[in-house]
Amino acid sequence: MLKLDNVSKRYKKRLILNDVSCEFNSGLNLLVGPSGAGKSTLLRMCATVEKPTSGQLWWHDKPYAKVKRKLRSELGYAPQIVDLPTDVTGREFLEHIAALKSVGKDANAQITELLEQLGLSHDADQRIIGWSGGMRRRLILAQAFLGEPKLLALDEPTAELDTDTATRVAELIAHAAQSATILLTTHLVDHFDSIGANIVRVTDGGVHAA
């Protein structure tokens, strides 16, 4: 379980999130709300990329500060935009991420399966410099699922994907939701109708049950 306790986030004079207290349980939690409401900021804090200005985050009843290293080994994070290295192949990039995550001896099997599930197998051994934007987006998603993470933070994972690819991504998320806590921002709630998600609205600096 992931818990936020009186969490606020401020950038200079702008208050993005104000005194947020909520819990996210195992399964899929959809974060919805208008652009600029703080959804991506919330994800970055949950993914340990940023610290709250005030308040505390907890993972299984332990404060983030005490379990950060362990949490990062159990975490998968896919932001909307990443500057991917272009001089390596897609497979080499995933191998590097698997090593950073200490995935272990089944890393190659996981990489092969993810490349297949996301329709990247054909181009996996080509350098990323030649990949389309959609392919790079799917690669960002693939690295997040490596290591079978217990906490997944996914920022608009089906945005700008064609219908077939979005369906593949939704199936991957549905499978992961059986054992992981997933926080997912989206404007496309209908992509996840069949999963039985908990819908949470982020607006006016707060987080509320939809």
Give the tens place of pLDDT for each residue, 33-80: 998 899 999 999 999 999 999 999 999 999 999 998 889 989 999 998
Predicted confidence band of residue 190 (pLDDT cuts 50, 70, 90):
confident
CB atoms under 10 Å from CB of 28, counted, come to: 24
Whole-number Å distance between alpha carbons of 150 and 6:
23
Domain locations in the chain?
Answer: 1-74+151-160+173-210, 79-148
pLDDT of residue 101 exceeding 70: yes
Q: Which of 100, 94, 103 is nearest to 141 (CA)?
A: 94
Adjacency order of strands within the sheet including 181-185: 75-78, 151-155, 181-185, 27-32, 198-203, 206-209
Whole-number Å distance between alpha carbons of 173 and 179:
11
- Better-predicted residue by pLDDT, 162 or 63: 63
Give the three-state DSSP class for 167: helix
pLDDT of residue 160: 83
pLDDT of residue 176 exceeding 70: yes
Predicted confidence band of residue 8 (pLDDT cuts 50, 70, 90):
very high
Query: pLDDT tens digit string along 134-148?
Result: 999 999 999 999 999
Whole-number Å distance between alpha carbons of 91 and 44:
26
CATH 3.30.565.10 is right for the domain spanning 1-74+151-160+173-210: no
Whole-number Å distance between alpha carbons of 205 and 194:
29
138 vs 119, 124, 144, 182, CA distance in Å? Answer: 8, 12, 10, 17
pLDDT of residue 210: 64
Average pLDDT over residues 110-123: 96
pLDDT of residue 40: 95
Q: Which of 62, 16, 69 is nearest to 43 (CA)?
A: 16
Q: How high does pLDDT run on average in the chain?
A: 93
Q: Which two tokens stand for residue 16?
A: 């993005």
Give the three-state DSSP class for 83: coil
